[in-house]
Every structure is written in structure tokens, then in C-alpha cells.
Structure 1
Amino acid sequence: MRPDARAWFEQRTTTARSLAAIDAAALLDAKRRGGHRISVVLPARNEESTVGGLVADVRDRWVRGVPLVDELVVVDSDSTDATAAVARAAGAEVVATTEVLPGVGTRRGKGEALWKSLAATTGDLVVFLDADLLGDVGHYVPGLLGPLLTDPQVHYVKGCYTRPLEVGGAVVPAGGGRVTELTARPLLNALWPELAGFVQPLGGEYAGRRSALERVSFVSSYGVEVGLLVDLLRQGGLGSLAQVDLGERRHTSQSVEALGEMAGQVVATVLARAACARQPSGLLTQFRQDGAGFVPRSSAVAVDERPPMVTVPEYRARLAV
């Protein structure tokens, strides 16, 4: 890992793995002193089985309990199930992507819902959560808001976590994030090595200042997360980015075919932004969870190749004998 990426990882990665690790009262005080308005956005497409519980939990804890959140909005992306009705019944404001900025039309993809959410909300701080989260994630919202409320230099905060994967009824504790490990991480390490400190660059839980988010493009597809990371790095520099360890993230797993499509969208997004990138760094930083936190480990992955054999003098001399 490059020195700047390691320094960033050590200085800008905080821990909020449970509510016990969060001083909610202090965050509420910081919100009030800063005059902030906070919006929580859940982009959703056919998530009727999970969106209701997630909305209800955020509403009970962070709208009614500790009033950190002023708006709780589900952006429905052409769902064909009861996602909208379930979310509304649980207490969210629900808007359809087709209803937001109708003059610009509608495109398919998660990024479209995220982009349009900026026009459907009013908070100067915006928290994004995927709508398929499982388990107790009540600490995610205050965890992501912490750096934004306490450090004015931070413009964007990514959540990181271990991601269990269930395969054939067996659970692999940290087997999730396959597109990250096989596609996004190698590409980012090669082209933007200063971003090597991000544990989950494709994670769907993050928060940012509206003033930063409204000035960057949003890729309509699943490339939106990697696109935002690169564009916000260019906009504000590495010092404007932060990361919070949220513990564990469980969600519904995707098929290999779906993961392949996601990987293709990530690659396309990276290539579209790679023209201004430097030469590949030759290092790959990966992360292991040791129980206390994430531990980075770097290895050399630079291309090391031999020239065509016919250009080697010793070989050519042998042929001449």
C-alpha cells in the first residue's frame, strides 16, 4: 500500500460496529449546532421482503427516538412487487424514479435512483442504504454520519464491513463481496492506488454532503459506487474521504450471472474514467479481519514479462549453430 493510502487508512477509518460504540446524543448536538438537515435514502427494486423492516427500524430509532433523521425516503425503481406499499406502510416517503424530474426521462439502474434522490430530498447531509439489508443495522445511520458531523473536511463517508456468504446452506464468514475482490479492488489499486485503503469500495452504505454529491456524475448502473469514489477523489482529494467500520453486513446474495453483469458495469465505469489515470501501480492491497479490525496486506501484481524469444541474442546464437 502506498504511504498516502496507508496514512489515510489509519487516520480516516473509524469504528462504529454497534450502537454501544456510538454517542448518539453527541451526534444530535453536533447536528443542531451545525444546523444540518439529514436525509436517509433507500434505493429499492423488488425488495418487499426486507424494505419494511429496515424502514421501520430507521424510523423508530433515528426519526422518533433520537431525531437525527429529518427525511426517510424510498426511491422505487420500477418495482413489480409490493415494495412501494410496504415501505409506505412502514413510515417512509416513497417516490418513483419516473416521478422525479420527469422532464429528463428515466433510465434503468440503481445509480438512477440515487441520482434522482438528490432532487427528491432536501437534506444537506444524505445517507444511502441498500434496501436488502438483513439483521440489526441500526448503527449504520449514526455510524456513517459521525465523520460528517464532527469533521468539516470530510465530504464523503464509505461504510466497510465483513460480508458473510451463504453457499449451499453453509456460511462463509467473509466470503461476500466477490465483485469487489475480483474486479473493483484490482482495478482501483492499479489505476488509483491512493484509494487502496477502502475496504468495500462497492458497498451500498455511504453518506455525503449534498454540496459534494450534486457536483459529480452518477453512473446509472451498478458502476455508481466506484464512479462516485473516483469522481469525489478528484473533486475533493483523499483528505475529503473517510471510512467507517460498521461490523457485519448481510443481504440477499446474487447469482453468478448477476454478479457477472455487475462486474461488467464496474469495468465499464472504470475504463470510462481511466484516461486520466497514471500508469498501473503494480501493488494490490487486500484486507483481512483479525477480530479487532481490518488489516491491510499488499502484494506485487505488476506485469513481469519476457520479450519475444527471437529478440534474445543467446537464443539467436543457438539457432545459428
Structure 2
Amino acid sequence: MPSAGEPAHHGDFRVQELIAIKRRTGTTISVCLPARDEAATVGAIVRTIGEDLVAPGLVDELIVMDDDSSDGTAAEAATAGARCVRVSQVSPKDVYRRGKGAVLWKSLFVSRGELICWIDADIVGFRSQMVTGLLGPLLTDPTIGFVKGFYDRPERGGTGGGRVTELVARPLIALFFPHLAGMVQPLAGATSARRHVLERLRFVQGWGVDFALLLDAAEAVGVGAIAQCDLGTLIHESKSLLGLGPQAAETLSIALSRAGMRGPSSFDLRQFVDGSAVTTPVRVDELPSPVASPFYRPLQVERRPA
């Protein structure tokens, strides 16, 4: 089975060159930031994208998907120049669920770009090449349908994955999905893709959505249509070992499900702190593909030669 190709580097792509391709092909681009209580960082990210990428014409719309924040995230994002959307108010409201997967799913309902780029809203020291690095493979190679970013984490001393990646995801990939063994950071949230790929995929509700989308995209378009890009250095807050337990549980559940061993869509994870039990509910139920929803408006794209 073919494996993912050699990763690109954000330095391979120049903004003006990408703008020229975008205009020649008539491509539209949406950048969406899923956010919950990220007032401390979201404003700087929005301003950087606005000045470096929206103003010159590479990015058409910049949307912050506010997942009912309580710290002023929406106000910070709007002041910085983003369109801010409250996730709970996006139809279909009756399927509103908290969780990153639900936020990404609904970002397809409110955005209109042919290319979708998702960037986390908690990045410290954000630089716009994180976006150009994700968009570059899609704009320069029409055979690429899905892009995963990876980055250097100074607190971890390299570009390898975090604890859940190395202890859970990578062994599962080796066992069940060896064609994806070349993915540097399979759980990373920095992702871009063509809308026509994403809108036909199911979305896991919670944090496991990033891993599930990678597995499902590989199944849908083939690993040869998946690219990676080195996005440089990224800093954001790390979780405690206890806090990573639910993420590890979601990752394991998703991998087993995609390997044909589907378990329950929700369960309780019991952990222990100083001898006392701590129970965390874990949900891996899935939202249907956007095109299966009557509230979704498919984008009509006029394709031009590259």
C-alpha cells in the first residue's frame, strides 16, 4: 500500500505565488479557528492572519467558531477583525453538542470557501506561515485533497508527537493503518482540506475528530492525496497526564472503530488521583457527513485550469 509522500516545508510557499494561483484558478479560501475560552491568544492570531493573508487577498474569510466561551473570546476575535460565529446558534440547533468535532462540523455550514483551513486558537507566537504551509500543497497540487501540519514543540525538544501520539496513536497506526506510518503528528489540529473531501466525512464529536478525519480521509481519497507540511515552531499549553486520559481513550476507541471493532459511543473513564477515583465521560459518537444534513448548502464551484 502506498504511503504518505515527503513532507513540504512552510518556506516552500510564498504568499504572492499562492495568490497568483488562487486568482488564476478562482479558488476561494476560508480559515476557521475553533475556540473556547481563548481570549488571551485569539486576537493576536486573527490580527496576524488579517494583515498578512486577508488584506493581500489570499484568504477570503476568517471565522472564529466560538464554542460558548465565557472569557470574552468572541469580543477579542471580533475586535481583531474576524467574523465570530457562536456554534450553538448555527442550525441544526437540535444537534448542538459541545466538543471540537461539533465545532469543525458546523464550520462547514457557515463558511463558503472551496479550501478550508483549521487553526487552533490557543497558539502563542502564531505566524502566518502556519496557514500558508497548510494551503500551499492544496493550491500547488490539484491531486492533494487533505493536508496535515506538524511543528516543533520546544518544550518537547523536537517535531515528534506528544504523549498520546507516541504511546497510543502511533502503535495503533503501526497495527491497523501502516500506510499512515509516515504521518509525523497524526493528532495535530492544524489541518486543511478541499471542501468536497470534508463534506462527505463523518465528524467525531470530541477531540478525537482530528485523528478520525485523517483515517477517514485516507480511506476516502487515498493516502497519495494526503500531504504534510512542517509549520515551524508552535507553542501552546500542554495538558497534565491525567487530562490526557480522555484524549487517549478517544484515540483508542476511534482506531478500533475504524479497524472494524466498534465499541460504545460513550463510556466513563475512571482514573485515580492520590487514591481517589476521578470519572470522566468520554464520547465518541459521530455527526453525519455535512452533505447528509438538510441544513447544509453545497458550494457551487466553477473550476478553472490550474
After the TM superposition, which parts of structure 1 deviate over 3 Å for at least 4 consecutive aligned residues?
none
Q: Aligned partners of 1:108 and 1:227: how far apart in 2? A: 17
2:229 is aligned with 1:244? yes
- Secondary structure at the residue paired with 1:9? coil
| Residue aligning to 2:204 | 219
Q: 2:150 aligns with which of 140, 153, 160?
A: 160
| Residue aligning to 1:57 | 48
2:170 is aligned with 1:173? no
2:71 is aligned with 1:81? yes
8 Å contact 1:41–1:74 — kept in the other structure? yes
Q: How far did 1:22 drift?
A: 2.7
Name the count of aligned residue pairs.
261
8 Å contact 1:164–1:176 — kept in the other structure? no
- Quick one: percent identity of the two aligned structures? 46
Q: How far did 1:105 drift?
A: 2.3
2:44 is aligned with 1:9? no
Larger C-alpha radius of gyration, 1 or 2? Answer: 1
Q: Aligned partners of 1:157 and 1:176: how far apart in 2? A: 17
Structure 2, unaligned runs of 5 or more: 263-306
Q: Aligned partners of 2:208 and 2:14: how far apart in 1? A: 34
8 Å contact 2:138–2:144 — kept in the other structure? yes
8 Å contact 1:201–1:229 — kept in the other structure? yes
CA RMSD of aligned residues (A): 1.7
Q: How far did 1:130 drift?
A: 0.4
Q: 1:187 aligns with which of 167, 172, 197?
A: 172
Q: How far did 1:137 drift?
A: 2.0
| Residue aligning to 1:289 | none
Q: 1:46 aligns with which of 20, 28, 37?
A: 37
Structure 1 length-normalised TM? 0.78
Q: How far did 1:190 drift?
A: 1.2
Residue pairs, 1:1-321, within 5 angstroms: 4-5=2-3, 8-10=4-6, 13-16=7-10, 18=11, 21-64=12-55, 66-165=56-155, 172-174=156-158, 177-275=162-260
Q: Aligned partners of 2:212 and 2:232: how far apart in 1? A: 24
8 Å contact 1:124–1:210 — kept in the other structure? yes
8 Å contact 2:129–2:231 — kept in the other structure? yes
Q: Which segment drifts farther, 183-192 or 173-182?
A: 173-182
Q: How far did 1:246 drift?
A: 1.1
Q: How far did 1:206 drift?
A: 1.0
